[in-house]
Amino acid sequence: MSEALFRFHGARLGHGDATVFAALDLSVRRGETVALLGASGSGKSTLLAALREQRQALCAWCPQEQALVPMLSVFHNIYMGGLHRHGTWHNLRTLLRPAAADRAEVGALAAELGLADKLFTSVDRLSGGQAQRTALGRALYTRRPVLLGDEPVSNLDEHQGLALMQRALATHDTAVVAMHDRALALACFQRVLGLRHGELVLDAPAAALTLADLDELYRP
Amino acid sequence: MSARPATTAAGWRRASGWLLLAGLLAFACADLAVTRTAPGAELLRVARGFLAPVWLGDDGLAAAELGRALANTLAFAFQGVAFGAAGGFLLALFWHRRAVRAAAASVRAVHELFWGLLLMQVAGLSPLTGVLAIALPYAGIFAKVFGEMLEEADPAPAASLPRQRRRLSTLFYARLPLIAADARAYTAYRLECALRASAILGFIGLPTLGFHLETAFREGLYAQGAGLLYVLFALILSQRLWLRARLVPVYLLAALLWAPPLGQGDWATLARFVTQDLVPAPLARDQGWAALGDWAWMLWREQVGPGLWHTLVLGMAALLLTAVLALLLFPLRSPLFGNRATRLLGHGLLVVLRTTPEFFLAFFLLIILGPSMLPGILALALHTGAIIAHLTGRFSEGLRLRADSARGVNRYAYEVLPRLSPSFLALLLYRWEIIMRETAVLGILGIHTLGFYIDSSVAEFRFDRTLVLILATVCLNLAVDAFSRWLRARLRLAGEGRRLGSKKDSP
């Protein structure tokens, strides 16, 4: 058994005075891929934010409100994932005129995401699905070992969603991803966590679960 | 490059690039010499004055003198705003008429100091001159602001009234209440501007704080001059404490009693001024049309042309430096950068630069650096840059960055600047007209912009030339205003400018 990367022991999680999790017990080991399921408001985003707090330097972050810079191009929004890898001068120069090497690198990633022809279009002129792929692109370009995603493929069709999820998991050794798509959770992830009103009500290997088990989570 | 940039940011970048180019050309043409032999020593003496200000006593003014200057400054400002707001309100009711909009634009395009110079010829160095010099341009400004407020107010309450023909009742019941709060806040802000304007009118001889301030600095009594500036600061910064709605009638009555708005001249003086002094000399002397042509050509070649050119060069250079300073300074007051100490420092610096009129800054810098365009450019850029930095910084408070956003320079360049660009550009373009208006007036201090020729023509009693030169400043201001509006519309910044600009930041 490898070491625990994230660990909560009776943790209280919330925003300010509002408590979301009263006492959370959870650990996630290096190498695990975890799907996070639960109805809206069950605490998925809160848990992801808490995970990120524990290991900021290791995590590539793909939040739900994509928080892209709408007036900048797809290229620049993806490149922003790698700001920490480059010197400040290089980053400033890239804002005005990207170097050929960066162009090729980010361009190849954008092509995988189906955004090749939109590379230098600004995000405010993209569809919702294209913007979401850009946000995922930024997380991928961050190139950190842990992927934390909050419904990163929710606006994409089934096939594209599956393909991009597999692509994202292939380049991260650990992942915790919140989603609503139960089939996607069972198809791509090793472990499934189910949340309900701030409680962890399900924690099982994906192989041991069926779609019917997961439906329970969404029953009122 | 393609015709339409594929990113929204590129469109703004292109417009900024052209403004940058124009600014650099202006810097290349501008006279930037430091003509004083030892600017460091002079700066030190001025700084010593500011650190050890004197108000009363042997090195200062007599208490009665200081009190009179203070009372005059307040009285002119209060009456100017009151008459200006009343006149502007009446004009605003007819804002849908083109003629009213044009008239309002023309009166506000003439600077308070130029109004003062003209009015002085008829009403002398009297309270009437001081009050009208503020009230006339402010009526134009109020007309625009109130008119636009009424236009933008929700039309539903008026539309839902039962059909009737009492337009005045509709106005008072269903339209004015909607804008009352905004109009009141704007009028309070205008009073702050009027206090500055009133002080500046001292430079053309009216007995306000500026009169003593100019005298003190010209005689090298920097400690006394600094004391007077601090009095103006105190007046403006404490406005929130003493400006209460219930007390306004009291203040206004006191202002009217202290300095009744009466002039020294009579109607005959006014008639002679308008029918003789303002008429081009060749016409007044019946020398025929050919002489008029020669006169006009001479005036263009020797005064209007060079004055316009210098005003344009100084104004464009100041616009570029304003933009640079604002971009450097706004992080100082933004919660997205720095820490508590830097923000406190930033706030303080910006308040001082915003509160000091650009005219005073130019005056101080002229003393330190000697006459050239440099003091003018620096003064305009410091004052306007601080205003734009303040508003941009305040706007940045509303930005929500994601949890993993970069810090420092990367955050500035990638996260903040692109998002703030539309508001920043809108503010800058909006302020452009004001920069040009102030540039012209800096001529009174001896920088060779249009105001220099205006001031000289007044000194020579050639008021026909004064009129032509003032009309030239009006045309320049209207042209810059129209161009800036066109550019804002083209860049789709119109909404931004209105949201950030007009309420708290009009001319």
Q: Which pLDDT score is estimated for B58?
A: 72
Query: The domain that contains A187 carries what CATH number?
Result: 3.40.50.300
What total number of domains does chain A contain?
A: 1
Q: Choose the closest CB to B7 out of A63, A65, A120.
A: A120
**Residues of chain B positioned with their CB less than 8 A from the CB of A125:** 6, 8
**pLDDT tens digit sequence for B107-165:** 999 999 999 999 999 999 999 999 999 999 999 999 999 998 988 888 888 888 877 77
The pLDDT value given to residue B354: 92
B304: closest CA of chain A, how far (Å): 41
Q: What is the residue range of A128's domain?
A: 4-218
Q: What is the pLDDT along chain A (220 residues), one digit of tens a residue?
A: 567 899 999 888 888 788 888 889 999 999 999 999 998 888 899 999 999 999 999 999 999 877 899 999 999 999 999 999 999 999 999 999 999 999 999 999 999 999 999 999 999 999 999 999 999 999 999 999 999 999 999 999 999 999 999 999 999 999 999 999 999 999 999 999 999 888 899 999 999 988 988 888 887 7
- Chain A CB contacts of B6 under 8 Å are 73, 120-122, 125
User: Looking at this predicted complex, what is its ipTM?
Assistant: 0.89
B421 is written with which tokens? Answer: 């660009």
Residue of B1, B8, B336, B411 to mutate for A, most A C-beta atoms under 10 A: B8
User: Given this model, what pLDDT does residue B5 score?
Assistant: 66
* Count of helices and strands (H, E) across chain A: 8, 8
Q: Closest Cα of chain B to A219: distance in Å?
A: 32
| Cross-chain residue pair B400–A63, CB shorter than 8 Å | no
Using DSSP's 3-state secondary structure scheme, residue B319 falls into: helix
Q: What residues in A contact B414, CB-CB < 8 Å? A: 69, 72, 76, 80, 83, 91, 95
- Cα B199 off chain centre by: 13
Helix (H, G, I), strand (E, B) or coil at B462: coil
Q: Which of A67, A83, A121 sits opposite B7 (nearest CB)?
A: A121
The residue of chain A with its CA nearest to that of B8 is A71
Integer angstrom CA distances of residue B169 from A86, B146, B165, B191? 66, 18, 9, 29
A83 in contact with B at a CB cutoff of 8 Å? Answer: yes
Which pair of tokens denotes residue B353? 């630069």
Note whether A117 contacts B: Cβ–Cβ < 8 A: no
For B24-63, the pLDDT digits (tens) are 999 999 999 888 888 888 899 999 999 989 888 776 778 8
Closest residue in B to A97 (Cα–Cα): B10
With an 8 Å Cβ cutoff, are B409 and A92 in contact? yes
What is the chain A residue with the closest CA to B11? A71
Q: Is the pLDDT of residue B421 over 60?
A: yes
Q: What is the mean pLDDT of residues B384-412?
A: 91
**Tens digit of each residue's pLDDT (9 = 90 or more) over B439-468:** 999 999 999 999 999 999 999 999 999 999
Residues of B with CB under 8 A from a CB of A: 6-10, 12, 400-406, 408-410, 413-415, 418-419, 421-422
Q: Does the pLDDT at position B4 exceed 60?
A: no
* Domains along the sequence of chain B with CATH: 13-52+282-507 (1.10.3720.10), 53-277 (1.10.3720.10)
Q: What average pLDDT does the segment B299-322 reach?
A: 96
Please indicate if any CB of chain B lies within 8 Å of the CB of A155. no
Contact residues on chain B for A68, CB-CB shorter than 8 A:
none
Confirm if B325 and B393 have CB atoms less than 8 A apart: no
**Rounded CA separation B368/B380 (Å):** 16
Burial of B285 (0-12, 13-18, 19+ CB in 10 A): exposed
Question: Does A125 sit within 8 Å of B410, measured CB to CB?
Answer: no
Which among B404, B8, B337, B4 is positioned nearest to A76, based on CA atoms? B8
Q: What is the pTM of this model?
A: 0.89
Q: What is the nearest CA distance from B6 to chain A, expressed in angstroms? A: 5
Mean pLDDT of B67-77: 95
Cβ atoms within 10 Å of A3's Cβ, excluding its own? 9
The Cα B430–Cα B21 span in angstroms is 19
Q: Give the strand pairing for A191-196 and A33-37.
A: parallel
- What pLDDT score does A214 carry? 87
pLDDT interval class at B494 (50, 70, 90): low
Inter-chain touch B7–A61, beta carbons under 8 Å: no
Which amino acid type is present at position B48? R
Handedness of CA B390, B395, B400, B406 (dihedral sign): negative
Mean pLDDT of B168-186: 87
Q: Closest by alpha carbon to B75, among B261, B263, B264, B247?
A: B261
Q: Which residue of A has its CA nearest to B418?
A: A71
Q: What is the mean pLDDT of residues B475-501?
A: 77
List, in sequence order, every residue forming a beta bridge with A19; answer none if it has no partner: A14
Where residue B355 falls among pLDDT bands split at 50, 70, 90? very high
Q: Of A49-53, B5-9, B240-244, which gets the smallest average pLDDT?
A: B5-9
Which of A47, A48, A71 to substitute to test the interface with B, most B CBs within 10 Å? A71
Using CB atoms within 10 Å of the CB of residue B341, give its burial: 0 to 12 exposed, 13 to 18 middle, 19+ buried. Answer: exposed
The answer to whether the CB atoms of A61 and B9 lie below 8 A apart is no
Flag if A83 and B418 touch (Cβ within 8 Å).
Answer: no
